[in-house]
Structure 1
């Protein structure tokens, strides 16, 4: 049996098992604590009966700076999934779905227009997972992953910016049908 609850600062010592996945970003300690302090309802964990963290989701609420209000790339008030990961032994049990649904409930409670996330274009499993939950590709961000790589052999990879409309977006004005054909540079993403 698994328990879902809000992240606590001492959970930082327990999430390393989840972060072993090569597609999961591992951040510095202060990054996790900032999310906990600023957006506690959007930072959830799942733990097993032994108290091991077997999944977590980190999210935030944001909008683009006002100076970009008239840009075609302006983002209104929305929730963003920064990280979602489930430990290998706990996958395919619905944990990722439950964590995502909890974040979406918090997004609706905070009157967000949509939830968005970035996923590697080559990560077919994650893309299928999100599409199954109602997310669609809004745009392709060229060379999003690895743009700051210092290793000369590192290859960059495009990202899909995927979105799911929330209750506030009744007219579905923040999603598009042909997102896979709409390409932007990483500098267009704030």
Structure 2
């Protein structure tokens, strides 16, 4: 049986089995700590009973301005330990975030997923997310900042995926055919 619990600072010592996944981005302790301090209700874990093992976690934040129709919840990381996959745990973590975001009255939830991460993209589409735009060179790492938005590269590009929430009554924060809208990383600003 799985339960959702608030993430605590000491949980950083128990998430290594979750973070070993090659698709999971790892951060330094100060980054995790900043999320715990700034957005404690958007940072939580899934725990398996009766063992109490952490099976996954969600780390998110709010950003943007409501007046500019950009106030949203951003998923920084959602990950599940490999032995707990295929039981809808990632979906459960995402649906919990939707409930929290609706209470906080954000307009949408967004995330970035690697263009080559087809399973991740399918999961988010199943949950009602759609591609808003393609961010060219988002995962470029040590490379220089790209300056040509038409120089697409599936290995380093990301899809900015969004799901409109009830406060966005007219679905102004999502679009169709987002795969055909190319932007550079420095153009993604909130």
TM-score, length-scaled by structure 2 = 0.89
Q: Say what the alpha-carbon RMSD is for the aligned residues.
A: 1.7
Give the structure 2 partner of residue 131 of structure 1.
125
Q: Which residue of 2 aligns with 1:83?
A: 77
- Offset from partner CA, 1:163-187 (integer Å, 9 cap, x none): 0001100100010001000000011
> Do 1:144 and 1:159's aligned partners in 2 also have CA atoms closer than 8 Å?
yes
| Structure 1 segments unaligned to the other structure (5+ residues) | 70-74
Taking the aligned partners of 2:113 and 2:158, their CA distance within structure 1 comes to 5
1:36: how far off? 1.0
Could you say which residue in structure 2 is the equivalent of 1:189? Answer: 188
The corresponding residue for 1:44 is 44
Counterpart-to-counterpart distance in 1, 2:109 and 2:137? 22
The one of 142, 145, 153 equivalent to 2:139 is 145
The residue matched to 1:144 in structure 2 has which SS? Answer: coil
Q: In structure 1, how many angstroms separate the alpha carbons of the residues matched to 2:64 and 2:80? A: 28
The CA distance in 2 between the partners of 1:138 and 1:178, in whole Å, is 8
Q: Which runs of 4+ in 1 moved over 4 A?
A: none
1:56-135 matches, cutoff 5 A: 56-63=57-64, 76-135=70-129
Quote the residue 2:151 is aligned against. Answer: none
Shift of 1:156: 5.4
Change (3 A) 1:149 1:87: farther
Q: Which residue of 2 aligns with 1:32?
A: 32
Superposition deviation, residue 147 in structure 1:
3.8
Tell me how far apart the structure 2 counterparts of residues 163 and 96 of structure 1 sit (CA, whole Å). Answer: 16
After TM superposition, give the deviation of residue 189 of structure 1 in Å: 1.1
In 1, Cα distance between equivalents of 2:53 and 2:13: 10
String of CA shifts for 1:24-52, please: whole Å, max 9, x gaps.
00100111111111111111101122222
Q: TM-score, normalised to structure 1's length?
A: 0.89
Quick one: distance in 1 between partners of 2:141 and 2:10? 32
User: Aligned equivalents of 2:41 and 2:99: distance in 1?
Assistant: 10
Once residues 135 and 26 of structure 1 are traced to their aligned partners in structure 2, the CA distance between those partners, rounded to angstroms, is: 24
Structure 2: gaps spanning 5 or more residues: 145-153
| Count of equivalent residues | 178
Report the equivalent of 1:167. 166
Give distance in 1, aligned partners of 2:140 and 2:170: 35
**CA contact 2:70–2:173 (8 Å) conserved in 1:** no
Tell me the alpha carbon deviations over residues 62-105 of structure 1, each in whole angstroms, 9 at most, x when there is no partner: 016x9xx6xxxxx6110000000000000011111111011111
